[in-house]
Amino acid sequence: MTAHPAIVWFRRDLRLADNPALAAALNNHRRIVPVYIHAPDEEAPWAPGAASRWWLQHSLTALDARLREHGSGLVIRHGRTLETLRQLIAETGANAVHWNRLYEPATIARDTEVKEALRAEGTAAHSHNAALLFEPWSLTTQSGGPYRVFTPFWKACLRQGLPEQGEALSEIPPETLLPSAAHSAALDTLGLLPTIPWDAGFNDHWQPGEAGAWNMLREFLDHAGARYAKDRDRPGQRSTSRLSPHLHFGEIGPRQIVHAVRARQAADARPGAHASLDSLLRELGWREFSHHLLYHFPHTPATALDERFARFAWRRDDADLLAAWQRGRTGIPLVDAGMRELWHTGWMHNRVRMVVASFLTKNLLLPWQDGARWFWDTLVDADLANNTQGWQWTTGCGADAAPYFRVFNPVLQSRKFDPDGVYLRRWLPELACLPDTALHAPWEAPEHVLRSARVRLGSDYPRPIVELRASRQRALDAYARIRVMPA
């Protein structure tokens, strides 16, 4: 074990438990310097959006508090990463830098440059895997290429065996972390929080940080895990794990979730509980698949994987339609409820995400990239791999995508998955007095029903901005034209 310090460069791995970079540094160095470097320009064109910056502020605060429990604190810097690391090495005498890998194209390029430069200058530089169950390059088809269909990809993951990691934090010896080894900027100087308090509702829904991640997981396993497979499509119920922002920021790792799920499966003998939690692990598989696709097809955040979509007849530059969708003013209740949930909480139920994405790309024929950009700025769990895969899947232009003719009918989806209107009434209070029979499609309701519920279409609530049946047919016609083109 060397007497020289090691720098642990935190990024989106904001936890102490199951942190391979931290563990490696602790195993090889008597002292470590925990560092966060804010360099959003190096992630362009996908620097964190507004909702992600809100989360980052509170997650860094939580990590700093955890480190202070060990007599240290997080060293915060703002500037170009390589130059900042060189300064920190000079200030602290560190001879090694450890970090956990990221997999977006811009961060891969930046990290490669950092590793090569540090090693050339005589500083050990080591990267580790904290974010995924499997490295994106470690799973290949029989022909040696990347997977483009989820089911065989997930079967390959299961054949290898899902890796697990326990919850326990490795012991950090006293005086290992250096509390004053380097000057730290104040977190508030990073400018992460909004100047206009549009984030007022976020605190009611989220607890960023490692403790919040574990609280969320335990609450899910205790109250919804056994029913997850049955209830996960019901947006009016608290039936999903809501772990996605915690996973994105690395406050909990997928190996830890596998471990916790396996332990609960072993302890829970209720019928269906084991299979239900397998469904949650399968969702982790979709996250792995998304990162697999982004790594092998790095152009997909901006360009469809299916090249025929370069010739698709999108209705570009229709600012009014896009604004109505963004603000939850389309006149389609399930779409509007989802978009308002997103604005007020920074999150949206997955079933509703598919519905609003289908409505934008198929009923409105607006480009999927417009939706992906809005989600990127407004989701607290905005993740480039997941966001890209989700939008391309719903649009029908990605790997293992939904068929082009699958157009989600938001009225049928609403009646099926929110039959009692709990979700709609929560986010559309102006429609709360409508009976269930009229709530899902108020434009179809008789005038006396609307009047009794004090709903005036076009005033209290907008009329639909498109007719669903006609817009569906228009989408099918547009898709049919590119379907006959060579891929």
In a domain, 137, yes or no: yes
Is 244 among the annotated ligand-binding positions? Answer: yes
**Where residue 114 sits, what CATH number does that domain have?**
3.40.50.620
Is 222 among the annotated ligand-binding positions? Answer: no
Query: Are both 240 and 125 inside the same structural domain?
Result: no
* pLDDT at position 181 over 70: no
The residue from 275, 296, 317 where one domain ends is 296
Query: Are both 261 and 323 inside the same structural domain?
Result: no
Q: Active site includes 46?
A: no
Is 241 among the annotated ligand-binding positions? Answer: yes
Query: Are both 79 and 164 inside the same structural domain?
Result: no
Q: Active site includes 9?
A: no
Quick one: pLDDT band at residue 293, thresholds 50, 70, 90?
A: very high
For 423-474, write each residue's pLDDT tens digit: 999 999 999 999 999 999 999 999 999 999 999 999 999 999 999 999 999 9
Structural domain span for residue 251:
132-169+209-296
Is 106 among the annotated ligand-binding positions? Answer: no
Q: DSSP letter string over 115-167?
A: HHHHHHTT-EEEEE--S-SS-TTS---TTSS---SHHHHHHHHHHH------S
Q: Active site includes 314?
A: yes
Contact between 378 and 342 under an 8 Å Cβ cutoff? The reply is: yes
pLDDT value at residue 182 = 67
Quick one: pLDDT band at residue 402, thresholds 50, 70, 90?
A: low
Lowest mean pLDDT among 96-110, 186-200, 438-452: 186-200
CA distances from 206 to 232, 242, 251 (A): 19, 9, 13
Contact between 450 and 438 under an 8 Å Cβ cutoff? The reply is: yes
Q: Active site includes 387?
A: no
Query: Are both 327 and 468 inside the same structural domain?
Result: yes
Cα 415 → chain centroid: 27
Query: Are both 120 and 254 inside the same structural domain?
Result: no
Query: Are both 426 and 445 inside the same structural domain?
Result: yes
Is 72 among the annotated ligand-binding positions? Answer: no
Tokens found for residue 343? 């604005």
Query: Are both 455 and 376 inside the same structural domain?
Result: yes
Q: How many domains does the chain have?
A: 3
**Where residue 275 sits, what CATH number does that domain have?**
1.25.40.80
The residue from 236, 271, 296 where one domain ends is 296
Is 143 among the annotated ligand-binding positions? Answer: no
* pLDDT at position 487 over 80: no
Q: Which of 43, 283, 343, 430 is catalytic?
A: 283
3-state helix, strand, coil in the chain (%, to 5): 50, 5, 40
In a domain, 140, yes or no: yes
In a domain, 278, yes or no: yes
* Cβ-based neighbours of 273, under 8 Å, separated by 6 or more: 225, 226, 264, 265
Is 336 among the annotated ligand-binding positions? Answer: no
For 28-41, write each residue's pLDDT tens digit: 998 999 999 999 99
In a domain, 252, yes or no: yes
Query: Are both 349 and 479 inside the same structural domain?
Result: yes
**CA dihedral defined by 41, 42, 44, 47, rounded to 10 degrees?**
-70
In a domain, 302, yes or no: no
Q: Active site includes 467?
A: no
Query: Are both 21 and 120 inside the same structural domain?
Result: yes
Q: Active site includes 154?
A: no
Query: Are both 112 and 229 inside the same structural domain?
Result: no
In a domain, 449, yes or no: yes
For 40-90, write each residue's pLDDT tens digit: 999 999 999 999 999 999 999 999 999 998 888 999 999 999 999 999 999
CA distance 13 to 109: 19
Query: Are both 57 and 148 inside the same structural domain?
Result: no
In a domain, 193, yes or no: no
- For residue 126, how many other CB atoms are within 10 A of its CB? 17
In a domain, 194, yes or no: no
* pLDDT at position 273 over 80: no
**Where residue 340 sits, what CATH number does that domain have?**
1.10.579.10
Query: Are both 106 and 163 inside the same structural domain?
Result: no
The residue from 103, 130, 157 where one domain ends is 130
